[in-house]
Structure 1
Amino acid sequence: MLRLYFFISLMCLVKSDPDETCPSFTRLSFHSAVVGTGLNVKLMLYTRKNQTCAQVINSTVFGNLNMTKKTTFIVHGFRPTGSPPVWMEDLVQGLLDVEDMNVVIVDWNRGATTVIYNHASSKTRKVANVLKEFIDQMLVKGASLDNIYIIGVSLGAHIAGFVGKMYNGQLGRITALGYREPLGNIDFYPNGGLDQPGCPKTILGGLKYFKCDHQRSVYLYLSSLRENCSITAYPCDSYRDYRNGKCVNCGIPQKESCPLLGYYADNWKEYLKQRNPPMTKAFFDTAEEKPYCIYHYFVDIITWNKNIRRGSITIKLKDKAGNITESKINHEPAIFQKYHQVSLLARFNQDLDKVSTISLVFSTGSVIGPKYKLRVLRMKLRSLAHPERPQLCRYDLVLMENIENVFQPILCPKLQM
């Protein structure tokens, strides 16, 4: 079965220029994009033996490629300006840092460089044929399909899919970066899969407006290769259910682990085997900037207002060092009823180990009209990422609408749920 994981020999292979000491990705100009380019495919191998200097390989010359190790192919997509992908070098180095493997860049810039998208997309099956021919020769030399991994970006994801189909779904793994509809065993949807935080919202953002959201998938994958940022995703039927805290059971001890975005998503495949069909959607939120990690907490609130109150909560945390992080839980109004606990999923850009003060703001969102009070019988803060941490409580608060209430929390009783 084809394993797809989702913050998809009509040409000759280009040989290395003998005068080029370290072969590099094909660099073309916008003029080339206007006049169009014929297809040539160049395969460039990086290993820990030649981590910074590529070897050009083909189906008869394999260089340092070790057939017993994992081989990861990186396939780029549409290149309307002819420039190399700015993320390519970081991705190569990140992969080699986390595992001793073969990393092969599939450089089809001569073919992908055009201002007409359909001209580039028409060449994708031919690129897939080149990869099929190369992998066939790898298999003859003793390689295993289980050790073949393809990372495809944009049109490169389609190429990866075509190769996977040629092998009847027997490739070890495919990661497709850049497609919205569910295709894989697990499909990741950062921030719901639409607009990404930190990206321009209007065309006034220039070229970044057209590529920022789409390109974010690559940078989120890159973040998974860094030790300081492991992005947790939550299997869920919808983004709304995730935002409402209905899909975080995988983060609770004694439950199945939550899938991690990116390179280590493969660790979740044992849980996928238990699903029928073995497919799932996973949602998560990200910060606006690198490394994009978000830290999840539950804010449990029990109120004792006589009447129902509807509104949003903004919570701010501060530690003794003066670090501050804030979460606005305002995606939809929360409904507070007397003596009923409301559990709100808060997302923070920083993970403060020891919180010294908490502030809460209640708002109905009304610009005109009376101001309301929210009478809080108990507030509790608990970390999802670190459930072993002590839970923090505060009792008997009155929140005046749009007025910040700052207080020092106390440890919750251990038996309290």
Structure 2
Amino acid sequence: SKILCFFCFCFLVMEEKCPEFTDLNLGHAFSGTELHVQLLLYTRKNRDCAERLIENNVTASEYLNTTKKIVFVIHGYRPTGSPPAWLGDMQRLLLSSEDINLIIVDWNRGATTVIYTTAVENCRKVAEILKNYIDQMLVRQSIESVLNECEEHGLKGAQGLDPAGPSFTGEPPDHRLDPTDAQFVDVIHSDIDALGFRKPLGTIDFYPNGGMYQPGCPKTLFSGLSYFKCDHQRSVFLFLASLKNCCDMITYPCDSYLDYKRGKCMDCDAFQPMSCPVVGYHADRWKKLLIPYSSPTKAYFDTSGKDPFCMYNYVLEIITWNKSTRRGFIKVKIMDNAGNTVESQMSGEASTFQQYNSVKILTGFPRDIEKIVKMSLTFTTKALIGPRRKLKVLQMNWEASPDKNIFCVLLLVGEPVPCSGLLSCEASL
């Protein structure tokens, strides 16, 4: 505040602080909170200080420009009452990526409760409040601008970041996210075996790492709260990573994660722009190419365990010579001229190798090597007891994902080489 004095008169002028997201605590969760919704507007003109929008008076806004895209960010259940850890990054990255109206929907009073069903009921009330506000924004414009807005910007898309499963699974479409909610609805499912919704909900549904067991997340209860929320929150961090432009997280439409891991679904042409859908903020650019795929479309991809979660894929095809069937896992290590090496993540599904039968395996690497000159393969059964097994390789095909033009064939003549031996692959092939 400031005190301004003119002659013998003094006035106390109170400077209004920037509106902020409601910060509560665990005590509020136990005592319960009444629903209260704040609409906090950020634009490139007020990046650091939100404008609180008045629910029943759209024209009162100083910064809202309805000729530009309007993005609503809506958080979910907040059992501890604290602001979402990702909120600041979401605001900064979205405004850096595009000149938009960013509206943070703060319903922390109503989402903060230990009674989950209360938060579910309040969530539906928030949806009704937002509908009324959007209707007002459309009424504010002329008919021509409304039509243009719907075509170019407004209400064109909805994104679900691991939509909740409890209390929503089995509900009719008007009580949950549904493909008809917008022109293009994309969903990231990262915790389908616990807190998330398992079945498809959108125009396209992305399942990172099969939709559960995200790399880098704790595997035991000793990690505390992180054990329960890490997989669920990964969808948000994958979305944020898509705004950083570190890599395109290319995904592959496929019937199942197992078929994807077997290399059966890598036929979308990444040399053709947006033929392979990418996950995140720019997923809707793929909507013009939906005709070849069934609706809803499920798309799978693997990630690394650290931000920005990039993964670089190759398809390994092996023909083996062993007379008896072998079942196990293949790990691949690649190397460049400078001696830099990177090792693939081991598939969670064991492969079955039979004599003269071709087996395809998708191998993913957390970082890329521009020019591969050597590679080594290791075969393991992961058995703690029993005899060691060798996998004798007759022929191996090594092919990059569609975004890299690499194809290599190794035809091993004579006595087959055990899989643990070092094999050379010229990058020029």
Report the TM-score, using the length of structure 2 for normalisation.
0.82
Q: Does the 8 A contact of 1:131 with 1:163 survive in 2?
A: no
Aligned partner of 1:38 among 34, 56, 60? 34
Instruction: Report the counterpart of residue 61 of structure 2 in structure 1.
Output: 62
> In the TM superposition, what are the counterparts of 1:310-389 in structure 2 within 5 Å?
310-389=327-406
Aligned equivalent of 2:277, options 259, 280, 289: 259
Q: Secondary structure in 2 aligned to 1:250?
A: coil
2:422 equivalent in structure 1: 406
2:112 aligned residue = 113
* Per-residue deviation, 1:385: 4.5
Deviations 1:71-109 (A, max 9, x none): 010000111111100111211222222221111000011
Q: Say whether the 8 Å CA contact 2:254–2:300 is kept in structure 1.
A: yes
Q: 1 or 2 for the larger relative contact order (CA 8 Å, sep ≥6)?
A: 1
Q: How does 1:266-305 map to 2 (within 5 A)?
A: 266-275=284-293, 278-305=295-322
Query: Which amino acid in the other structure matches residue 24 of structure 1?
Result: E
Report if aligned partners of 1:111, 1:120 keep a CA contact under 8 Å in 2: yes
- Asked if 1:184 is matched to 2:184, the reply is no
Q: Structure 1: how far apart are the matches of 2:353 and 2:230?
A: 38
Amino acid at match of 1:83: S
1:221-243 Cα deviation digits (max 9, x unpaired):
11111111221111111111111
Q: Is the 8 A contact 1:73 1:151 kept in 2?
A: no
* TM-score, normalising length: structure 1: 0.84
The corresponding residue for 2:238 is 220
Amino acid corresponding to residue 346 of structure 1 in structure 2 = T
Alpha-carbon spacing, 1:130–1:163, altered in 2? closer, same or farther (3 Å) = farther
1:22 maps to: 18
Counterpart code for 2:257: Y
Label 1:316 to 1:52 Cα distance change in 2 as closer, same or farther (>3 A).
same
| Count of aligned pairs between the two proteins | 390
Question: Does residue 197 of structure 1 match 2:215?
Answer: yes
Q: Which runs of 5+ in 1 are unaligned?
A: 1-17
Give unpaired runs (5+ residues) of structure 2. 1-13, 189-195
Classify the secondary structure of the residue corresponding to 1:263. Answer: coil
> For the residues of structure 2 that align with 1:316 and 1:74, how far apart are their CA atoms?
41
Q: 2:44 aligns with which of 25, 45, 48?
A: 48
**Counterpart of 1:360 in 2: which secondary structure?**
strand
SS in 1 for 2:259: helix
Give 1:299 deviation, angstroms: 1.4
Write the letter of the residue equivalent to 1:100. Answer: D
Could you give the per-residue CA deviations for residues 140-195 of structure 1, whole angstroms, max 9, x where no partner exists?
Answer: 1224345135555567998xx869999x9464555555533211111111111122
Q: Does the Cα contact within 8 Å between 1:139 and 1:145 map onto a contact in 2?
A: no
TM-fit CA distance, 1:314: 1.2
The SS at the match of 2:268 is: helix
Could you say if the C-alpha distance between residues 152 and 62 of structure 1 is closer, same or farther in structure 2, counting changes exceeding 3 Å?
Answer: farther
User: Are 1:74 and 1:104, in contact at CA under 8 Å, matched by a contact in 2?
Assistant: yes
**Does the aligned pair in 1 maintain the 2:242–2:281 contact within 8 Å?**
yes
Q: Name the counterpart of 1:6.
A: none
- Are the equivalent residues in 2 in contact too, given 1:361–1:399 (CA < 8 A)? no
Identify if the C-alpha distance between structure 1 residues 137 and 330 changes in structure 2 by more than 3 Å, giving closer, same or farther.
closer
Which deviations, in whole Å up to 9, do the C-alpha atoms of 1:369-398 show, x marking residues without a partner?
443433323333221053323537473585
User: Relative to 1, partners in 2 of residues 1:324 and 1:64: Cα closer, same or farther, differing over 3 Å?
Assistant: same
Residues 360, 122 of structure 1: CA spacing in aligned structure 2 closer, same or farther, 3 A cutoff?
same
Contact preservation (8 Å) 1:303, 1:378: yes
State, as a whole percentage, how many aligned pairs show the same letter.
45
TM-aligned CA distance change 1:120 to 1:176, over 3 Å: farther
CA contact (8 A) 2:313 2:400 kept: yes
What amino acid is the match of 2:378? Answer: V
Cα gap change, 1:333 to 1:179, in 2 (>3 Å): closer
1:103 maps to which residue?
102
> Could you say if the C-alpha distance between residues 120 and 388 of structure 1 is closer, same or farther in structure 2, counting changes exceeding 3 Å?
same
CA-CA distance at 1:273 after TM superposition: 4.3
Answer yes or no: is the 8 Å Cα contact 2:40–2:104 preserved in 1: yes
Tell which deviates more after alignment, 327-336 or 266-275.
327-336
Question: RMSD value over aligned CA atoms?
Answer: 3.0
Q: Is the 8 A contact 2:40 2:106 kept in 1?
A: yes
When residues 253 and 171 of structure 1 are mapped into structure 2, their CA distance, relative to the original with a 3 A threshold, is closer
1:246 to 2:264 alignment? yes
CA distance in 2, matches of 1:154, 1:368: 40
Pairs within 5 Å for 1:52-91: 52-58=48-54, 59-60=56-57, 61-91=60-90
Structure 1 CA distance for aligned equivalents of residues 330 and 182 of structure 2: 47
Does the aligned pair in 1 maintain the 2:177–2:201 contact within 8 Å? no
**Residue type of the alignment partner of 1:56:** R
